[in-house]
């Protein structure tokens, strides 16, 4: 199953500090995913992508993100290494892919973009072939033609675009993106119900307009655990020891950096916190981080004992982190400290 990472900061970050230098960077997770349980296909080698926004707005270049994708394994792409050393950005999306739906092609590599917006997905829409025609029929012609590949993920992005008042807008409020995300999830659940689909869908979605970020950790089940999702925040993110050992420093109460990731990028205690299942995480333009419950028929309140007893077997079968059971058995690689969260 895929892995993604999101960076938003008050200052631009050199892409290499996210993608290539950390010993457990998103690129290294493509072949060394410590928290992945599926040993049948333990490699995220079906392409990768990175998207970023300019540090300084240039009228000639526009406000849309730049996207670099490739179908080669991320760890073996020299162009990625070269670019990561020379590009800085205050908002970065990175993704390594393990196919679930769709062929191995550039069109199917995340992140997807439209206008100012970028979108990524970790998970799978259950029995997508049963609802694909219905989903496409509900799209406007303009949005329908946005889809270039054949993945469930890009179709979900098109559905999200259709929920926006104007997907071509030059700016979006945080609340507008939140509502579009909620409407997308609700519509996918409606399609599944009408088609008689009983297997849960894993919908770890994330979207940004370059100012706000909205991400979800979600599964259409009251009993199963969702795919893993974590966040980290602080004032600086830097290497403290040779070999790519990074940590998040918290010099004061300011949030200069916020990261969201399928799997932690560091092995430092207390660097990362787990996002609750069936919750939305929002990063506002002013660097506030909000965790908001997605209250629908699959939501279980934290005060309900069932919230602590979600079944991790489904996540494990899909090659995803079982957050409450998978951490203890993980053994560090040689010369790497143990992950402790």
**204-256 pLDDT, tens digit each:** 999 999 999 999 999 999 999 999 999 999 999 998 888 888 999 988 888 89
Tokens representing residue 202 in the block: 């894993």
Residue 329 in this model has a pLDDT that exceeds 70 = no
| 0.95 surpassed by pTM | no
Residue 194 in this model has a pLDDT that exceeds 80 = yes
Tokens representing residue 3 in the block: 């892995």
Which one is predicted more confidently, 320 or 65?
Answer: 65
Model pLDDT for residues 246-291, shown as the tens digit of each residue: 999 988 888 899 999 988 888 777 889 999 999 999 999 999 999 9
Pick the catalytic residue from 2, 23, 109, 206.
2
At 338, is the pLDDT very low, low, confident or very high (cuts 50, 70, 90)?
Answer: very low
Per-residue pLDDT, 332: 37
Q: Are 182 and 205 in contact (CB under 8 A)?
A: no
Beta bridge partners of 118: 113, 208
Model pLDDT for residues 7-36, shown as the tens digit of each residue: 999 999 999 999 888 887 767 665 554 444
Average pLDDT over residues 76-89: 90
Task: Spell 106-139 as b/e; 16+ CB within 10 A means b.
Answer: eebbbbbbbbbbbbbbbbbbbbbeebbeebeeeb
Residue 2 falls in the annotated catalytic set: yes
Dihedral angle over CA of 94, 207, 152, 294, nearest 10: 120
Per-residue pLDDT, 108: 87
Between CA 248 and CA 331 the distance in angstroms is 22
Between CA 328 and CA 67 the distance in angstroms is 37
Per-residue pLDDT, 101: 58
At 306, is the pLDDT very low, low, confident or very high (cuts 50, 70, 90)?
Answer: confident
Model pLDDT for residues 114-170, shown as the tens digit of each residue: 999 999 999 999 999 999 999 999 999 999 999 999 899 999 999 999 999 999 999
Model pLDDT for residues 135-146, shown as the tens digit of each residue: 999 999 999 999
Which segment of 56-60, 197-201, 284-288, 324-328 scores lowest on mean pLDDT? 324-328
Phi, psi of 86 (to 5 degrees): -120, 5
Per-residue pLDDT, 166: 96
Q: Are 36 and 320 in contact (CB under 8 A)?
A: yes
Highest-pLDDT range among 68-72, 220-224, 319-323, 333-337: 220-224
Q: Are 119 and 205 in contact (CB under 8 A)?
A: yes
């Amino acid at each position: 199953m895929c892995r993604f990472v999101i960076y938003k900061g008050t200052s631009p970050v050199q892409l290499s500090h996210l993608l290539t230098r950390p010993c457990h960077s998103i690129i290294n997770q493509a072949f060394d995913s410590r928290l992945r349980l599926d040993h049948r296909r333990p490699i995220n080698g079906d392409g990768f992508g990175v998207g970023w926004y300019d540090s300084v707005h240039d009228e000639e270049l526009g406000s849309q993100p730049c996207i670099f994708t490739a179908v080669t394994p991320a760890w073996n792409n020299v162009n990625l290494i070269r670019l990561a050393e020379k590009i800085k950005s205050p908002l970065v999306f990175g993704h390594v892919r393990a196919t679930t739906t769709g062929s191995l092609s550039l069109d199917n590599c995340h992140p997807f973009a439209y206008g100012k917006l970028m979108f990524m997905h970790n998970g799978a829409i259950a029995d997508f072939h049963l609802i694909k025609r219905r989903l496409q029929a509900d799209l406007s012609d303009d949005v329908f033609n946005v889809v270039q590949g054949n993945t469930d993920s890009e179709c979900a992005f098109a559905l999200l675009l259709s929920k926006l008042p104007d997907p071509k807008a030059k700016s979006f409020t945080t609340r507008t993106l939140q509502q579009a995300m909620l409407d997308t999830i609700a519509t996918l659940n409606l399609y599944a119900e009408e088609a008689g689909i009983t297997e849960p869908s894993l919908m770890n979605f994330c979207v940004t307009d370059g100012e706000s970020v909205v991400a979800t950790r979600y599964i259409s089940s009251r009993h199963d655990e969702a795919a893993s999702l974590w966040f980290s925040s602080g004032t600086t993110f830097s290497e403290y020891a040779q070999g790519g050992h990074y940590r998040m420093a918290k010099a004061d109460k300011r949030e200069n950096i916020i990261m969201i990731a399928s799997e932690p990028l560091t092995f430092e205690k207390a660097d990362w916190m787990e996002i609750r299942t069936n919750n939305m995480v929002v990063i506002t333009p002013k660097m506030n981080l909000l965790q908001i419950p997605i209250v629908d028929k699959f939501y279980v309140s934290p005060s309900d004992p069932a919230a602590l007893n979600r079944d991790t077997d489904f996540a494990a079968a899909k090659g995803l982190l079982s957050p409450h059971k998978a951490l203890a058995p993980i053994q560090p690689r040689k010369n790497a400290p143990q992950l402790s969260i």
